[in-house]
Amino acid sequence: MIRDVSSMRAESLFEYDWVTFGLGDIRPTKPTYSSSAYDLLPPIPKLAPDCAWLPPLHPTIDAEMEDYRLDEKAKYEYARQLKTIEREAISLGIELPSTFLTLARSFEFQERIPSCTACYFDLPERIIESPFRQGDFILRFLNDQQVCVCWYIYLPTNAPHFVISSSADYDEPFLDSIDFEASPKLVQNCMESTSIAAKSFDEFIYRFWIENVIWFKLNEKIPMLELELDYIRHIAPDYTDPNGR
């Protein structure tokens, strides 16, 4: 039996959980993805709005990502779908996060965010009403290459947005493709595979970016910047930088 959540805050529907890949000996994992306790994650610095903080990639990482980037046809389709999503948001009275819009409108910014698991930015056919609480909305924006996990902006009624990760249902990886009216059990199944990844889109993008940059730098033996070392040492205080920093 599905519990009545109409009186609950949207944020309280889910557990907090950072679903992520391993970082070598710093944070080992056996499967591609595992869970990291949200409360133990490194803090995020105060960020300039609308991706102003997002630097170009190191040339070695940039070259590695080249084969995974959208071609011109795919970019055209993405941009066209973004316009559809923006129009739909206006008609629904939804305010999409400004940093999401900045990132979605800029392939240059998108290409500055690497992914060691070949995740890619994507947009659904439509914004869906949340199956978890009436009146809320959900927008998918990022997929794992194998769609074993996807990330969504959760847009509650009269409350700030947050980001969720979800494995959805075994037979359908996207929340926006599931017919929840067909079976109430699907709602419960999907809720159990969904968690809050970040309290805001900005927080999510920064953490996703820095962890992927660190992964590539560890594997390619590229010297770390100070902010990357600070992040690592929050996870592994005894980490020794090969470059003596």
Q: What DSSP state is assigned to residue 28?
A: -
- Residues 68, 115: contact at Cβ < 8 Å? yes
pLDDT tens-digit series, residues 30-48 = 778 888 899 999 999 999 9
In the prediction, which pLDDT does 227 show?
A: 96
CB contact at 8 A, 148 and 173: yes
- From the CB of residue 53, how many other CB atoms can be counted at a distance below 10 Å? 14
At 179 the pLDDT is 84
Q: What share of the chain is helix, strand, coil (3-state, %, to 5)?
A: 40, 15, 45
pLDDT score for 6:
61
pLDDT digits (tens, 9 = 90+) for 157-188: 989 999 999 987 767 788 998 888 877 788 88
CB atoms within 10 A of CB 116: 20
Boundaries of every domain in the chain? 10-27+34-40+50-232
At CA 161, angle to CA 77 and CA 38, rounded to 5?
Answer: 105
Q: What is the pTM of this model?
A: 0.93
In which residue are the tokens 């000996």 written?
A: 25
> Smallest Cα–Cα separation from 133: which of 236, 21, 12?
12
> Tell me, what's the pLDDT at 182?
76
Tell which residue, 145, 139, 150, 71, has the closest CA to residue 101. 139
Structure token digits, residue 59? 């040339």
Which residue numbers in the chain have pLDDT < 50?
1-3
Which pLDDT value is given to residue 185? Answer: 82
pLDDT at site 241: 85
**Long-range own/partner contacts, residues 190-193 (CB < 8 A, 24 or more apart):** 190/131, 190/132, 190/166, 191/13, 191/14, 191/132, 193/166, 193/167, 193/168, 193/169
pLDDT of residue 2: 44
Give the CA dihedral 50, 98, 161, 135, nearest 10 degrees.
Answer: -170
- pLDDT attached to residue 1: 37
User: What separation in angstroms does the CA of 27 have from each of 7, 50, 145?
Assistant: 38, 30, 21
**Tokens 């973004």, residue located:** 82
Q: What is the radius of gyration, based on Cα positions, of the chain?
A: 18
Residues in the chain: 245
